[in-house]
A and B are shown apart, each in its own frame.
Chain A
Amino acid sequence: MPETVSTPASGAAPNAHKQAALEFQAVNKSFRTGERTIEALNAVTLSLAKGVITGLVGPDGAGKTTLMRLAAGLLLPDSGMVRVFGLDTATRMNAIHASIGYMPQRFGLYEDLSVQENLNLYADLHGVGAAERGERFEQLTRMSGLAPFAARLAGRLSGGMKQKLGLACTLISRPRLLLLDEPTVGVDPVSRRELWRIIDYLVAELKTTVVLSTAYLDEAERCADVVVLDEGCVLAHDTPDAFQSEMVGRCYHIDCPGMTKRDIQTHLSGRKGVVDAVIEGERVRLVVDRAVEPEITSLLPNRADARLAPAVPRFEDGFIALLKKRRPQTLRAAHQTIHQVIDERSPESDGEVIRVDGVDRWFGNFHAVKKLTFTVKQGEVFGLLGANGAGKTTTFRMLCGLLPASGGNLRVAGVDLRRAAAKARARIGYMSQKFSLYTHLSVRQNLEFFSSAYGLRNASRAKRIAWALEQFELAPVAHAASGDLPLGYKQRLAMACALMHEPRILFLDEPTSGVDPLARREFWNRTNQLAAQDVTVLVTTHFMEEAEYCDRLVIMVAGHILASGRPSDIKNLVRDDTMPEPTMQQAFIHLVESSELEDKQ
């Protein structure tokens, strides 16, 4: 494969002329779990500039969290040196402590304390005096939009608000170096934008140095510098623009009137010379391995009407190209198919497998889901989008029969959930946000349990387990405890478990939350193949580019449907002169914010 990104794997970044806030010198760090030794960081040498945002991206298990914890002084390197503002973390930790703020993936909020009490507590812990406190509280609650909720218990905030409160608590001490470990995981686009506003303000006004790890590559694009980590090594350290300029002439949009976008993607991904093929809007984005315009006939033979147009490169293209160069074997997954056999057709003549009709759900006085009505056809990929707390998970739980509806009718797989929930359950697969697995059981034992729980036996059970181990590439870890696996493996195992009984309907609740971009691509490949085999897929996600994969979707706000239709329909709703080509993300934010505005009026 030819050269893609030529940046040397060293600390020499364009912004390095500025004084370094954080320096790593030949840092090694390894952990032991059971009998395995994991090299979390391998000879990492980095120098991060002061006063800017540095993004940390990489697949699961790349060492992002270890790097953060080393910088925060919570871990000490096995060898090498970590310096914060020129002070060694091994010896001068007390001096460094006052100048750094660290927000781990799960920030330690006290859920039984109110928002204000949490802020007071962290102010006390950081020794912020009473004089400074009032002004800082006022500023932080205003910026984070938490001011109206000061008296609410932290445990009752939505996911996005919790993250904002966590950030506010970290910021009370006005740290000069802010370390944020995936602050936006599981946070909806609107809240994410607010989090970014706070971070941008810090950098612009207070000259704070920010190091932030993220799984959203559009966020990496907003950083001044980006560090790409993989398997404990620094692959690249450069500005996002540099990653993009490497990709000039290698990115294209392709569409073909006679083929669905999903067919084109399936056809293209994994072909020789193709680095990446993802659905974007109504077209497929194609990234090739050299800066030569590919022959359309070689990509889609016998498709004379296919159109190829150059596209503006994004950071994501460079990132994927960099990672795929390192590990070409991930391309293999794209070729595999899920040999799903659906022999029964839907009993409903019109192919409607899910019918939600005027469904309500109350929690005490709280009206979580309001007169919800939609239908899903067989073989559709149907998306449920919405801000944190909009009622998506409640809707999901009702559809799976985990929660009874307070009113209305729910029919799933031709069965009324009120009457025969158990019958419906045998036909659905469910994968929850947390990838719920039995952590002490091995991969194989998990598969064995779920296949038996779905009533598979003897030969058919053994066949299905073998299928899962092969198709989800779990065979090498079959005997490892599932709790010790990296997140991407857990996600694959959770999906395999949900598919053991060949369900006709698959419910996926934030299936890609916290999962790296490569694993997300694999995941969507599998999901698309399932849909191609007439499996109906219902999915929730916070990644708006993933909404493009859906055939139809609804956007929920405060328990009701705000907009519904095909992705292009949704985008058309907001198309105007200021936004001639809206992305899904822009459309979502625009729709949600204008509905909130209406509510206020």
Chain B
Amino acid sequence: MWNRIIALLIKEFLALIKDKKSRFVLIGPPIIQLLVFGYAATFDLNRIPIAVYNEDRSLASRDLAAAFTGAPAFEEVARIDHHEQIAPLIDNKKVLLVLHIGQHFSRNLLKREPAAVQVLIDGRDSNTALLALNYVQTIVAAFNLDWAQTHHLALPPAQLKIRAWFNPNLESQWFVVPGIVGLLTLVVTITVTALSIAREREQGTFDQLLVTPLTPVEILIGKALPGFVIGLIEASFIVVMAVAWFKVPLLGSLTALYLGIVLYLFAIIGIGLMISSLAVTQQQGLLGAFLFIVPAVILSGFATPIANMPPLVQDLTLINPMRYFMIIVRSVFLEGVPAKPLIP
């Protein structure tokens, strides 16, 4: 039995490596997606273009403006001295936000009255606007504290001291890159398995395979193992890249990670082979694979938190293998979860 399965395995791998298209599927997506998601898909805002409209021209207002322009999140691209200049800058997306310090800012500060600072923000992209406002509030809060300390004022009654666990600097790469392990393993493994039987059926070789003494179980194993091996290699490649290139700490045990990967691969291969058994042509196989991949990724918590979804959709995520793997891979990477909770 094993001789025949090994023969099938050799044939599967040769077919994968010799075919230009499938060779690309194995090598192209991992590298492209790793670069795209590793660098492009980030929740951190960097060098947001801002404009400063400072009517006050005092030491205090310059300090506040400097706190903005000096922050890595912001970059001052324009300085304004007329009220009319604000609207065109935001309308034409030259800047995302305008910091407007009124002419009574320092006077009110010194009189110990509330000194208003206006921020005009482009709300067209609400997600970015919210993130930017977060930075604004942090900078203003720091300014308040500093001012209170240097002028011996009463400090605010409650002070916020944030310490982020697991990801001290809240770097979104730490969140995104481990997720790519799940994403890429899904894409590559499902395409390899979904095409494997469909390709044979398209070329008529499946009949030829069925008239050999190979039993259905042997064919199943022979078709599942290549996807498993390739998925394992892809996953390991991303894990190594995450640690060595993106410097994401891997705190948990490798046993736990690989146990998760193996379970995840079993689930994907099952789905891939099911798609393949239904598809008559490779094109149908590929379509079927994408029909599964897109919702699986969206409903996995890879990009948007599952907790934000409507309850019905949240229930739907329970049948998505990627959802569970996302939890495993992130908790192993950042929380350092050991293997034990994975063993029933």
Contact A430 B211 (CB under 8 A): yes
Using a Cβ–Cβ cut-off of 8 Å, how many residues does chain A contribute to the interface with B? 30
Interface size on B, residues (CB 8 A): 23
Q: Are A436 and B11 in contact, CB atoms less than 8 angstroms apart?
A: no
CB distance from A33 to the nearest CB of B (A): 13
Q: Is the CB of B18 within 8 A of A432?
A: no
Q: CB distance B204 to A432 under 8 Å?
A: yes
Contact indicator B208/A428 (Cβ below 8 Å): no
Among A433, A437, A441, A454, contact of B18 (Cβ-Cβ < 8 Å): A441
Scoring A residues 402 to 434 as 1 if CB is less than 8 Å from chain B, else 0, what string do you get? Answer: 100000000000000000001001101110111
Determine whether the beta carbon of A441 is less than 8 Å from that of B211.
no
Binds A, one of B1-9, B231-239, B306-314, B322-330: B1-9
User: What mask results when residues 447 to 458 of chain A are scored 1 for a CB within 8 Å of chain B, else 0?
Assistant: 011101111010
Judging by beta carbons under 8 Å apart, are A430 and B7 in contact? no
Q: Which residue of B lies closest to A426 (CB)?
A: B213
Residues A432 and B7 in contact in the complex (CB < 8 Å), given A440-B15, A453-B214 = no
Choice from B7, B14, B18 contacting A453 with Cβ under 8 Å:
B7
| Contact yes or no, B203 A425, CB < 8 A | no
* A481 within 8 A of partner (CB): yes
Give B19's nearest chain A residue, CB to CB. Answer: A440
Q: Which residues from A are CB-within-8-Å of B209?
A: 453
Q: Which A residues are CB-close (under 8 A) to B8? A: 449, 453
Whether A453 contacts B207 by the Cβ 8 Å rule is no
Would you call A434 and B204 a contact (CB within 8 A)? yes
Bound-state Cα–Cα, A410 to B13, Å: 37
- Judge if B215 is at the interface, Cβ distance under 8 Å: yes
Q: Are B213 and A441 in contact (CB under 8 A)?
A: no
Complex CA distance for A260 and B10, rounded to whole angstroms: 46
B residues 180-220 near A (Cβ < 8 Å) are 203-205, 207-215
Bound CA span A486–B131, Å: 64
A539, CB-defined interface residue at 8 Å: no
Residues of A within 8 A of B18 (CB): 440-441, 481
Q: How many A-B residue pairs have CB under 8 A?
A: 77
Give the residue name and chain of the B residue nearest to A445 (CB).
B14
CA distance A438 to B210 in the complex (A): 14
Min C-beta distance of A431 to chain B, whole Å: 8
Say whether A439 faces chain B, with CB atoms less than 8 Å apart. Answer: yes
Known: A440-B18, A455-B213, A481-B18. A430 touches B208 (CB 8 A): yes
Residues of chain A contacted by B212 (CB below 8 angstroms): 425, 450, 453-454
Contact A452 B211, beta carbon cutoff 8 Å:
no
User: Closest chain A residue to B22 by CB distance?
Assistant: A440
Measured CB to CB, the closest approach of chain A to B65, in angstroms, equals: 65
Q: How many Å lie between the Cα of A437 and that of B208 in the bound state?
A: 8
Set of chain A residues within 8 Å of B211, measured between Cβ atoms = 400-402, 425, 428-430
Closest beta carbon of chain B to A339's beta carbon, Å: 22
Q: Which residues of B contact A440 (CB under 8 A)?
A: 14-15, 18-19
| B216 to chain A: closest residue by CB | A422
> Please, what's the 1-or-0 string for B62-98, where 1 marks a CB less than 8 Å from any CB in chain A?
0000000000000000000000000000000000000
- Which residues between 39 and 61 of chain B lie within 8 Å of chain A, taking CB atoms? none
The residue on A at minimum CB distance from B11 is: A449
Contacting residue for B11 out of A430, A432, A445, A481, CB 8 A: A445
Question: Whole-angstrom distance between the alpha carbons of A436 and B209 in the complex?
Answer: 10
| Interface membership of chain B positions 96-108, coded 1 if the CB is closer than 8 angstroms to chain A and 0 otherwise | 0000000000000
Indicate if the CB atoms of B215 and A441 lie closer than 8 Å.
no
How many Å lie between the Cα of A305 and that of B98 in the bound state? 114
Determine whether the beta carbon of B7 is less than 8 Å from that of A448: yes
| Interchain CA distance A400-B210 in the complex, whole Å | 9
Cα distance A397–B206 in the bound complex, in angstroms? 13
Report the bound CA distance from A302 to B18 in whole Å: 57
Chain B residue at minimal CB-CB distance from A458: B3
Given contacts A448-B7, A455-B4, A457-B3, is CB(A432)–CB(B207) below 8 Å? yes
Residue on A nearest B1 in the bound complex, by CB: A455
Partner of B15, one of A400, A425, A438: A438
Are B207 and A422 touching (Cβ within 8 A)? no
User: A441 and B11 in contact (CB under 8 A), knowing A452-B4, A453-B209, A455-B3?
Assistant: yes
CA distance A277 to B211 in the complex (A): 34
Q: Could you give, for residues 440-475 of chain A, a 1 whenever the CB lies within 8 Å of some chain B CB and a 0 otherwise? A: 110001001110111101000000000000000000
CA distance A439 to B205 in the complex (A): 10
Binary contact readout B1-40 vs A (1 if CB under 8 angstroms, 0 otherwise): 0011011101100110011000000000000000000000
Out of B3, B14, B210, which one reaches A452, CB within 8 Å?
B3
Minimum CB–CB distance for B213 against chain A, Å: 4
Partner of B210, one of A402, A429, A445, A454: A402
A395 to B203, CA, bound (A): 21
Whether the Cβ atoms of A430 and B207 lie closer than 8 Å is: yes
Interchain CB contact under 8 A, B15 and A452: no
Give min CB distance, B282 to chain A, whole Å.
13
Q: How far is the CA of A260 from the CA of B8 in the complex (A)?
A: 43
B10 and chain A: residue at smallest CB distance: A449
- Which residues on the A side are within 8 Å of B11 (C-beta)? 438, 441, 445, 449
Residues of B within 8 A of A432 (CB): 204, 207-208
Question: Which residues of the other chain, A, contact B3 by a CB distance below 8 angstroms?
Answer: 452, 455, 457
Which residue of chain B is the closest to A481 with respect to CB atoms? B18
Q: Please indicate the chain A residues that have their CB under 8 angstroms from the CB of B4 in the complex.
A: 452-453, 455
Contacts of A433 in B (CB 8 A): 204
Q: How far is the CB of B258 from chain A (nearest CB, A)?
A: 31
Question: Which of B7, B204, B210, B213 is A449 in contact with, Cβ under 8 Å?
Answer: B7
From B222, which residue of chain A is reached at the shortest CB distance?
Answer: A453
In the docked arrangement, what's the CA distance between A454 and B214, Å?
Answer: 8
Once A426-B213, A441-B18, A454-B212 are accepted as A-B contacts, the answer to whether A436 and B207 lie under 8 Å apart by CB is yes
On chain B, the residues within 8 Å of A402 by CB distance are 207, 210-211
The smallest C-beta distance from B283 to any residue of chain A, in angstroms, reads: 14
| Residues of chain B contacted by A436 (CB below 8 angstroms) | 203-205, 207-208
Q: Give chain B nearest CB distance to A238 CB in angstroms.
A: 39
* Chain A residue at smallest Cβ distance from B212: A453
How far is A484 from B130 in the complex, measured between Cα atoms in Å?
59
A residues in contact with B204, CB < 8 Å: 432-434, 436
Cα–Cα, bound, A440→B14 (Å): 8
Among residues of B, the one whose C-beta sits closest to the C-beta of A401 is B211
Q: Which residues of B contact A448 (CB under 8 A)?
A: 7, 10
Contact A422 B208 (CB under 8 A): no
B residues with a Cβ closer than 8 A to A are 3-4, 6-8, 10-11, 14-15, 18-19, 203-205, 207-215
Question: A-B pairs with the 4 shortest C-beta distances?
Answer: A452-B7, A436-B204, A440-B18, A430-B211
19 A–B contacts, CB within 8 A, in A order:
A400-B207, A401-B210, A425-B210, A430-B208, A432-B207, A433-B204, A436-B207, A438-B15, A438-B203, A438-B205, A441-B14, A441-B15, A441-B18, A445-B14, A450-B212, A452-B6, A453-B8, A454-B212, A454-B213
- New A-B pairs, 12, CB < 8 Å, besides A402-B207, A439-B203: A400-B211, A422-B215, A432-B208, A436-B205, A438-B11, A440-B14, A441-B11, A445-B11, A452-B4, A454-B212, A481-B18, A497-B208
